[in-house]
Structure 1
Amino acid sequence: MKTQQIIFLLLSSFILNISSFQYDVEMAEKLSAYSLASYCSNSNLLNWSCGKTCKRVEPLIDVKTFENKNEIFYLIGYSQKEDAIVIATRGTLPWSIYNWLTDLSISKVDYQNCKKCQVHQGFYKAFQSIIDSLKIEFNNLRNQYQNSKIYITGHSLGGALATLLVPEIYKLNNNMPVDAFITQGSPRVGNQQFSNWFAENNNFSKMSARITLNKDPVVQLPAFSFPFSFKHIGNEIFYRDPSIKQEYTKCLKPEDQNCSSGVYFATSVIDHQSYFGFGWGSELLFCRRFINKNNKETLT
């Protein structure tokens, strides 16, 4: 009898770990498309006219963008079809030296929102450079669309920024969870205590997913091993093939060997630019172009 009870408990625990967080493929693909759109030029985003990239998802209205001198960027707007405020924090621009230095820094700083929490110094500095502006724009849209849903997303460095942003929007939303928080190819953001704190607060979201893809090297950084000791947050969705949207592995706990942490020799930059089969590299270049008054395309 005891053996049967033990087996039952083990099976129950296994089932709980597999099914204890929601994942919606269509929502994930939609927010990934908004993440990609955040790489486009300001002028194209304000009119939602960034070609294929903008046509992939519902247009946003009342769009606001912000970019500081170090090329840290976000977009925020309202989707009428979704009745949702959408926030997308941009990832690393390939030609941005500052962004690369931000990504490669490995120092930690204290994070005041939770006990003994520390986060990546470069990510946190980048986050602090946009949060004041973002709070203002969010409150403006929240006052205008008071009952709307809230979606937060970001790719690469943008995923790290989105992770730091979610607790702040949670507080601005009267300590109510946002409706969806989904990142693609995010690096590790904080230490063990930070990861635990996120789990304790159910990732501050009704639906959350940290999407990873095959041999994407960015999700392996900064290192988990000592002396670096960074740790991912949980709710991971791991894909082997970017084009097969319905085949993935769910890992509730961070650093699960069944997902990206179990991948060795993760060195594929192509995987980092292939989430949901989008052409992140080629589309980035195209959607940053606009036609000037002389009918010439210019890269912005």
Structure 2
Amino acid sequence: MQGALLTVLASAVAAAARAAQQPLEPVDGIAQDTYNELHRFAQYSSAVYQPLCPRPLGNALVESFSNILTHVHGFVARDDARRELVVAFRGSQQLSDMVTDANLMLVPLALHGIPPETTSDAEIHAGFLIAYNSVCNMVVSAVREELDVYPDYSVVAVGHSMGGALASIASLSLKYHIPSAAVRLFTYGMLYATGNAGFADLMHDMIGDANMYRARNIDGVSTLVPESLGYRHHATEYWQHAEPPDSSTVRQCEGQEDPECSKSILSTGINTAHFVYFGQMMTVDATLCL
């Protein structure tokens, strides 16, 4: 009897050891509150494409910003119910935006007002850096003035496609200039990765993986630029890998480049999925500004 019991125990221990050695299966599904936020900030990322947006999602428009040379456009909105400032950047829409997108050279992260030695290991897409720096002072000034009046409000940077890349840079810029600000980042179909591994690590250190939501569906844009050029995505990817969009069809991924998430599929380039995120059609919904 004792021998049989020992045999059973030995088998159980061996099975547990084998299970521990097996990689965990990716877990699908995110909390409904998280899904609701992904949907909400997708709406802001769509609203910013409108030429005029007097009431983003029914909230107060603090300031619109733009640059006539780079054609960067966005707004700062204030949601008093949620005690939140939303900084939204428009994605590619004009020929000049395509020129910005194509400026793929990685260059040192030289942000206005930040000492170069602070970002010594970080390199960034040259076109995106020029584009963000063209509106940096306006963005930082508008947010700082609002936080002076509403110091307990959080800041959320958002954007779709190229706008997502600009929002990523803005989140770092705002955190440097206003260290006390609670900053989060939501991007959708972000064009390429924004920078190199040093940039991704800097985002991890300054913003924190738990405060970054890099949303992607079966959109092929995010992987158009190969890693061989030195690019690396920052955390944290939220991959909607099946239809219809729902909290159960989104996976919260691990680290910066999770091989079980969107990296596991081949890039198809710009496709129809690039323009619809969490049920929100990008660029065309003027009702989001009323």
* Same fold flag (TM > 0.5): yes
Aligned: 1:103 with 2:101: yes
Change (3 A) 1:167 1:8: farther
Change (3 A) 1:254 1:206: closer
| Percent of residue pairs bearing the same amino acid type | 18
What letter is aligned with 2:266?
Answer: Y
Instruction: Give CA-to-partner distance per residue, 1:128-157, whole Å, 9 cap, x none.
Output: 101011111111111121211221111111
Match of 1:27 among 21, 37, 49: 37
Distance in 1 (CA, whole Å) between partners of 2:235 and 2:15 is 30
Distance in 2 (CA, whole Å) between partners of 1:175 and 1:144 is 14
1:1-300 to 2 correspondences below 5 Å: 24-42=34-52, 45=53, 47-48=54-55, 57=57, 59-69=58-68, 70-93=70-93, 96-111=94-109, 112=116, 113-178=118-183, 180-186=184-190, 187-201=192-206, 203-204=207-208, 207-214=211-218, 216-224=219-227, 226=228, 228-241=229-242, 243-246=244-247, 247-283=249-285
Instruction: Tell me how far 1:29 sits from its aligned partner.
Output: 0.8
Q: Is the 8 A contact 2:122 2:198 kept in 1?
A: yes
Distance in 1 (CA, whole Å) between partners of 2:289 and 2:212 is 32
Q: Is the 8 A contact 1:273 1:280 kept in 2?
A: yes
Q: Is the 8 A contact 2:85 2:156 kept in 1?
A: yes
- If the length of structure 2 is used for normalisation, what is the TM-score? 0.81
Instruction: Tell me how far 1:100 sits from its aligned partner.
Output: 0.7
Aligned-partner SS, 2:119: coil
Instruction: Tell me how far 1:6 sits from its aligned partner.
Output: 6.5
Aligned-partner SS, 2:213: strand
Q: Is the 8 A contact 1:18 1:252 kept in 2?
A: no
Instruction: Tell me how far 1:102 sits from its aligned partner.
Output: 0.9
Change (3 A) 1:173 1:239: same
- Unaligned 5+ runs, structure 2: 1-9, 110-115
Q: Is the 8 A contact 1:211 1:236 kept in 2?
A: yes
Change (3 A) 1:4 1:164: farther
Aligned-partner SS, 1:91: coil
Q: Which residue of 2 aligns with 1:297?
A: none
Please tell me whether Structure 1 or Structure 2 has the larger radius of gyration of its CA atoms. 2
Aligned-partner SS, 1:210: strand
Q: Which residue of 2 aligns with 1:298?
A: none
Higher relative contact order (CA 8 A, sep 6+): 2
- If the length of structure 1 is used for normalisation, what is the TM-score? 0.79
Instruction: Give CA-to-partner distance per residue, 1:210-257, whole Å, 9 cap, x none.
Output: 00111x222113321x2x121111210111246322111221222222
Instruction: Tell me how far 1:198 sits from its aligned partner.
Output: 2.1
- Unaligned 5+ runs, structure 1: 49-53, 291-300
Change (3 A) 1:169 1:199: same
Distance in 1 (CA, whole Å) between partners of 2:101 and 2:155 is 27
Instruction: Give CA-to-partner distance per residue, 1:140-175, whole Å, 9 cap, x none.
Output: 111121211221111111110111111222233334
Q: Is the 8 A contact 1:182 1:211 kept in 2?
A: yes
Q: Is the 8 A contact 1:177 1:204 kept in 2?
A: no
Deviates more, 1:157-166 or 1:106-115: 106-115
Instruction: Tell me how far 1:264 sits from its aligned partner.
Output: 1.0
Superposition RMSD in Å: 3.0
Q: Is the 8 A contact 2:193 2:231 kept in 1?
A: yes
Distance in 1 (CA, whole Å) between partners of 2:251 and 2:133 is 33
Distance in 2 (CA, whole Å) between partners of 1:146 and 1:189 is 30
Deviates more, 1:123-132 or 1:237-246: 237-246
Instruction: Give CA-to-partner distance per residue, 1:235-292, whole Å, 9 cap, x none.
Output: 1011124632211122122222211111114235211101112222543xx57999xx
Q: Which residue of 2 aligns with 1:296?
A: none
Q: Which residue of 1 aligns with 2:6?
A: none
Instruction: Tell me how far 1:192 sits from its aligned partner.
Output: 1.6
